[in-house]
Structure 1
Amino acid sequence: MTANTSPIAVVTGATGGMGTDIVRDLARTHRVIAIGRNEQALAALSAIPSVETRQIDLQKTARFAEIGAGIDRIDVLVHAAAIGDHVSVENATEEVWLDALTTNVVAPALLTRALLPQLRAAEGTVVFIGSGAGTKPVPGSAVYTASKHALRALADVLRIDEEQHRIRVVTLAPGQTDTPMLRRGASGNHYTPERYIQPSTVAETVRTIVELPADAHITDIALRPRQEIARL
């Protein structure tokens, strides 16, 4: 990929609801390394000329070094991968806690560390896809809420630590978005997709972040449905 002069973006969760749209949108202007687990979805993305796919389980952190191999710079890193079942403290096993924290917090931290040399070389932008659960408690969802609080803290400290290298670090926190993960957690007839944010809107917001002029830095974006679901 080094022969091409287009900016390079790395997107995790590329086969998820938001990640797929983010990959497709960034591919219009970037060479995108799309990381996901679903083989069929990755195959569809690989049909886009500017997309290179990698089938990687983010819990296999030893593979992170290969993502940046042979690449001198990375302009954009989007952490869109997440798992988010609603589990309370009472019901969460140790395995549930470790799976969620590894995927939602540890993997983004270690992947960012693995790609820091390339991000610094590009004065790049790191986007953490957070959640409204990263700023307030969600009843019955201790595991997911704790992981998203931790992810926002990770982003805030990374921003300070990498300021000298001019890396921009952004937490983009969408509200309820029409994704398979949200549908799985919905209860029957109460799911109304037209009320929710579309994944393409999240992708457009990522583009706004990426295309921000070099003299400015967005740190946090709360992207909410036009009508707040909690008030309906």
Structure 2
Amino acid sequence: MSTHLITGAGSGIGAALARRLHERGDELVLFARDAGRARAIAAEFPGASTLVGDLSDPGRLSWALSKQQLPKRIDSLVHVAGVVDLGRVADLAPALWAQQLAVNLMAPAELTRLLLPVLRVSRGQVLFVNSGAGLHAHAEWGAYAASKHGLKALADALRAEEAEHGVRVTSIFPGRTATAMQERVHQQEGAEYDPGRFIDPESVATTILTALDLPRDAQITDLSVKPGV
């Protein structure tokens, strides 16, 4: 039985992954932004434990975790949580840049830093759910894509640094996936949302499980997942 710490387990890809891991009997540690959200998520996954911290304020994560009991073992740290706000570079306010960089890049970096000692002991795995935008940037996606390009750089550097400790590092790059975030993106784009056109979160969860369950003689470093034809 393995222990997995997951951010963004309240919906979408994170919820699908947590459900699959819970069904097979693995231990879950679910990261939530506040106590109320933690209780709601824990109720969905009996036996799971929770940690509380605000990913939009990475500088306070160390303080937040110091007030809580951390798990003694973590086999995987899976970063799923993210935010997106579209806008042209000419129009996007600094606050929207700051929010996306904080949640999508700085918080994963800081949370990983804080949990690395435990991950090293278990020779665990850090998995970043990135985005197709982490490989290619399009008009009005500048801030989000910048945060996700940065996330890829973080993963690449971490992989090189932690190889000596046996910590595996994986980046998953899903294309457009049928989640609440995708629905919000369509609202921002002024487009009709049809979830049937996009990847099912369960398919991305299957991809993540493949990377997590891979035998120790190999690792998946980067994997793109695109909608079927």
In the TM superposition, residue 101 of structure 1 has moved relative to its aligned partner by 0.4
Call closer, same or farther: CA 1:189–1:58 in 2, change over 3 Å: closer
- Range moving further from structure 2, 12-21 or 172-181: 12-21
Call closer, same or farther: CA 1:67–1:41 in 2, change over 3 Å: closer
The answer (yes or no) to whether the contact 1:82–1:103 under 8 Å persists in 2 is yes
Q: Which residue type is aligned with residue 193 of structure 1?
A: P
Q: TM-score scaled to structure 2, two decimals? A: 0.89
- Range moving further from structure 2, 199-208 or 44-53: 44-53
> Residues 53-132 of structure 1 correspond to what in structure 2 (within 5 A)?
53-61=50-58, 62-64=60-62, 65-66=65-66, 69-132=69-132
Percentage identity across paired residues of the two chains: 38
| Counterpart-to-counterpart distance in 1, 2:195 and 2:225 | 16
The count of corresponding residues between Structure 1 and Structure 2 is 222
Q: Does 1:168 align with 2:168?
A: yes
Q: Out of 4, 10, 13, which is 1:15 matched to?
A: 10
| Counterpart-to-counterpart distance in 1, 2:67 and 2:108 | 13
| Counterpart-to-counterpart distance in 2, 1:190 and 1:95 | 27
In the TM superposition, residue 73 of structure 1 has moved relative to its aligned partner by 2.2
Q: TM-score scaled to structure 1, two decimals? A: 0.88
Please name the residue that 1:230 is paired with.
none
Q: Out of 39, 46, 55, which is 1:49 matched to?
A: 46
Please name the residue that 1:133 is paired with.
133
**Per-residue displacement from partner, 1:121-160 (whole Å, max 9, x unpaired)?**
1111111010111111111111001111000010011000
Q: Which residue type is aligned with residue 127 of structure 1?
A: L
Q: Does 1:36 align with 2:38?
A: no
Call closer, same or farther: CA 1:106–1:222 in 2, change over 3 Å: same
The answer (yes or no) to whether the contact 2:79–2:127 under 8 Å persists in 1 is yes
Q: Out of 17, 23, 26, which is 2:21 matched to?
A: 26
Q: Which residue type is aligned with residue 219 of structure 1?
A: T
Q: Out of 219, 222, 226, which is 1:220 matched to?
A: 222
| Counterpart-to-counterpart distance in 1, 2:113 and 2:89 | 30
| Counterpart-to-counterpart distance in 1, 2:115 and 2:31 | 14
Call closer, same or farther: CA 1:53–1:70 in 2, change over 3 Å: closer
| Counterpart-to-counterpart distance in 2, 1:70 and 1:177 | 32
| Counterpart-to-counterpart distance in 1, 2:38 and 2:69 | 24
- SS of the equivalent of 2:113 reads helix
| Counterpart-to-counterpart distance in 2, 1:205 and 1:54 | 25
Call closer, same or farther: CA 1:169–1:96 in 2, change over 3 Å: same
The answer (yes or no) to whether the contact 1:85–1:144 under 8 Å persists in 2 is yes
Unpaired runs of 5+ residues, structure 1, are 1-5, 228-232
The answer (yes or no) to whether the contact 2:87–2:140 under 8 Å persists in 1 is yes
